[in-house]
Each structure stands twice: as structure tokens, then as C-alpha cells.
């Protein structure tokens, strides 16, 4: 929708990143757009813009086409690869049909030739934002097969790591703060691997009392302890041929760590109350929000167990460094719970 009044306040204020190697042009963007209700952050190069996009959330990028080293067209390519829902407005002092077609083909919402008036700029920005918001509404609400929602650069790194981990059988240690999705990543690795047709067994090591954890993991035979009225398999037997996810592995006791190390080394377990080892074929993925190397220094976690688990490490980023994913998550959860 065009802005007929140059002083019209944006009906839906947006954060805009303006990219131009000319300080005068950047000042012009701020002078025209901020009184209309937009928040404008500036960058003098595509490289600076790329750094800013990693740490802040925007709805629209206005970029000049001709810039030293990295052009505006290259910046559009980068944005479309890493920030799929971000709107783009291309501005140039060298207008041509070919440039306009190329900018739109790469994903720009609109194209504006210099010199332009305040009214023309506001109209182009509102058109670009309108197109961006329509495209955002068309974005699939259903999560991908992995169940992990994200299109930001940090999450693209995680998706690549999942793909690589799924292709091999090595143990994986997933680290990151609470709530970053460690079990989702473990499931994604399992269901993309050659073990996908076999069980995925999640175990919250921190949520099971120490006195019960060994029995829960390895099972027990009848009469092994008071209340053991029958022989019962543990999580490792249940997950045979599949994957077991040991979440909060940093909460396990030193004695349990010794038992887990034996499982990793010998590929066998002993049920509680039995001296007969059982061979198992289970891939182990562990998760923790603890600094295990710090626990090793304080002698609260075994170094040899750490290196057995940490063959492949995937460190999950918190949402505060994934600004480009906020809109995706908001749309997905608002639609889900609105039902």
C-alpha cells in the first residue's frame, strides 16, 4: 500500500537495516523513515550487515546495489540462504531492467531507483513490508520432519551437524542451555540414521533417583532387591538396535559413570542381581546443560567417559542468538495453540 502522506506513521512499526557505503544515503534513510515510526539501524557494507544480522532481528533490509568488495546482490543471496522470512528492498543509483529482474529473482520484495523522494521511499518500504508479511503468512506452519523450527544461520549449522552425525554411528554429546532442544536434536539424528526403524529411548538421568537409575537403565532379575518380584528389562535392552538418549548425563554419580563407561567400552551390560553380561547394540547420544570439562577439573565427572561420549559434539544455540527464528516460532505456536 502506497504512503500518500509523507508524514504518515507506519501502521505496523518495523525494524529496518539500511545498508549503503554512502553515509549521506544512510542519513537520508534515517531522516525519512524514523519519523514514520520505523526503527532504522545502519551498516556501511554488506560484511557489516551480515555481522549485525547474526545478533539482531529485522523485518526489512534496504540495501544499495553497488558497494565495494561485496555487492548488494551478493547480500541478497546471503539473506535468502540464511534469513528466509526477511524482507529486502534494493536501492540503486544505476537503474536498469536487468538489475531489477536480477534483484527480484534473488528475492528482493521491491526495487527503488535513486534519486527518490520521501514519498517514494515510504511507498517502497510499505510495499516491501507488505510483500514480506504476505510471504511470511504463506510460510508452512507445520514443523519439518525433525520437529525443529528454525531458518537462522546458527540453526543451519545445527541442521548440517545433525545430517553428518546421522550418517555415522559414533557417540554424540549434545550440549547447551536448558530448553534449547537437545532431545529434539537427538531424535532428529536417530530418525535420519540407519537405526530409524528401531526404538529411540529418551532417559532423563537427572529425573530418576540414584537408587533406581541402574535398574532402570540395565534392568533387574527377580529377587535382585526388595520389590523385584519379576525380571524386567531396562532401557538399554528396550533400545537394542536403536538409540538411547541419556539426557542430563552430568547429573550421574561417579559409580554410575563407571558402569556407563563399561557399556561404552565392552558393548555389554549386566542386569541388577545378575553376573551374566548381555551384549547390546545401542547408539548412545548424551545431553547436558553442564560444563562437563569444568566438572572433570572438580573430579565430579570422569574424563575417560567424557571423551567416549564426546566423539561428536553439537552445541545448541539459545534463542537469544537466533533472532531470525523468532517470527517462525511465534507463528507456529500461535497457530498451534489458537486451535
- The residue behind cell 550418517 is 167
Cell of 50: 551480515
Residue 163, C-alpha cell as written in the block: 545430517
Q: Which of the 8 DSSP states describes residue 146?
A: T
Which one-letter DSSP state was computed for residue 40? E
Q: What is the pLDDT of residue 162?
A: 94
Please state whether beta strands 200-204 and 60-64 pair in parallel, antiparallel, or not at all (unpaired). unpaired
Peptide bond into 115 cis (omega under 30): yes
Model confidence pLDDT, tens digit, residues 33-54: 999 999 999 999 999 999 888 8
Q: What is the 3-state secondary structure (H, E, C) of 26-83?
A: HHHHHHHHHHHCCEEEEECCHHHHHHHHHHCCCCEEEEECCCCCCCHHHHHHHHHHHC
Check residue 230 and report its DSSP letter: S
- Report the Cα 157 to chain-centroid distance in Å: 8
Q: Is the pTM of this model over 0.85?
A: no
Dihedral in degrees, nearest 10, Cα atoms 103, 106, 107, 109: 10
- pLDDT attached to residue 10: 42
Per-residue model confidence (pLDDT) at position 2 = 36
Domains, the chain, with CATH or none: 15-138 (3.40.50.2300), 153-333 (3.40.50.300)
Tens of pLDDT along the chain (339 residues) come to: 334 343 444 445 688 999 999 999 999 999 999 999 999 999 999 999 998 888 778 889 999 888 888 888 888 888 888 887 788 888 877 655 555 556 566 667 677 888 889 999 999 898 888 877 776 655 555 556 667 888 778 888 999 999 999 999 999 999 999 999 999 999 999 999 999 999 999 999 999 998 889 999 999 888 778 777 788 889 999 999 999 999 999 999 999 999 999 999 999 999 888 888 999 999 999 999 999 999 999 999 999 999 999 999 999 999 888 877 777 787 778 777 877
Cell of 51: 555481522
Quick check: helix, strand or coil at residue 158? helix
326 is written with which cell numbers? 523468532
Q: Are 83 and 53 in contact (CB under 8 A)?
A: yes
What is the C-alpha to C-alpha distance for residues 305 and 19, in angstroms, rounded to an integer?
49
Amino acid at each position: 500500500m502506497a504512503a500518500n502522506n509523507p508524514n504518515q506513521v507506519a501502521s505496523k512499526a518495523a525494524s529496518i537495516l539500511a545498508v549503503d557505503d554512502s553515509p549521506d544515503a544512510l542519513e537520508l534513510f534515517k531522516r525519512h523513515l524514523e519519523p514514520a515510526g520505523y526503527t532504522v539501524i545502519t551498516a556501511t557494507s554488506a560484511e557489516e550487515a551480515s555481522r549485525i544480522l547474526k545478533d539482531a532481528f529485522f523485518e526489512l533490509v534496504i540495501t544499495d546495489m553497488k558497494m565495494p568488495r561485496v555487492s548488494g546482490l551478493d547480500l541478497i543471496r546471503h539473506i535468502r540462504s540464511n534469513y528466509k522470512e526477511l524482507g529486502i528492498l534494493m536501492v540503486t543509483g544505476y537503474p536498469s531492467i536487468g538489475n531489477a529482474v536480477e534483484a527480484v529473482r534473488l528475492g528482493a520484495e521491491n526495487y527503488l531507483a535513486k534519486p527518490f523522494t520521501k514519498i517514494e521511499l515510504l511507498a517502497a518500504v510499505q510495499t516491501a513490508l507488505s510483500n514480506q508479511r504476505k510471504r511470511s503468512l504463506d510460510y508452512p506452519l507445520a514443523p519439518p520432519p525433525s520437529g525443529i523450527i528454525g531458518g537462522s544461520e546458527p540453526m543451519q549449522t545445527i541442521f548440517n551437524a545433525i545430517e553428518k552425525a546421522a550418517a555415522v554411528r559414533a557417540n554424540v554429546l549434545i550440549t547447551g542451555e536448558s530448553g534449547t532442544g537437545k532431545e529434539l536434536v537427538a531424535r532428529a539424528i536417530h530418525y535420519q540414521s540407519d537405526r530409524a526403524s528401531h526404538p529411540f529411548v529418551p532417559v532423563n538421568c537427572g529425573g530418576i533417583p540414584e537408587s533406581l537409575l541402574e535398574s532402570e537403565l540395565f534392568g533387574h532379575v527377580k529377587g535382585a532387591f526388595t520389590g523385584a518380584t519379576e525380571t524386567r528389562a531396562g532401557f538399554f535392552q528396550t533400545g537394542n538396535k536403536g538409540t538411547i538418549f541419556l539426557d542430563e548425563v552430568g547429573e550421574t554419580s561417579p559409580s554410575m559413570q563407571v558402569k556407563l563407561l563399561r557399556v561404552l567400552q565392552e558393548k555389554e551390560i549386566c542386569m541388577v542381581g545378575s553376573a551374566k553380561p548381555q551384549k547390546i547394540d545401542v547408539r548412545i547420544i548424551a545431553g547436558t546443560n553442564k560444563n562437563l570439562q569444568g566438572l572433570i577439573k572438580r573430579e565430579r565427572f570422569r574424563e575417560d567417559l567424557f571423551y567416549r561420549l564426546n566423539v561428536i559434539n553439537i552445541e545448541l544455540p539459545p534463542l537469544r542468538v537466533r533472532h531470525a527464528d523468532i517470527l517462525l516460532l511465534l507463528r507456529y505456536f500461535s497457530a498451534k495453540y489458537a486451535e
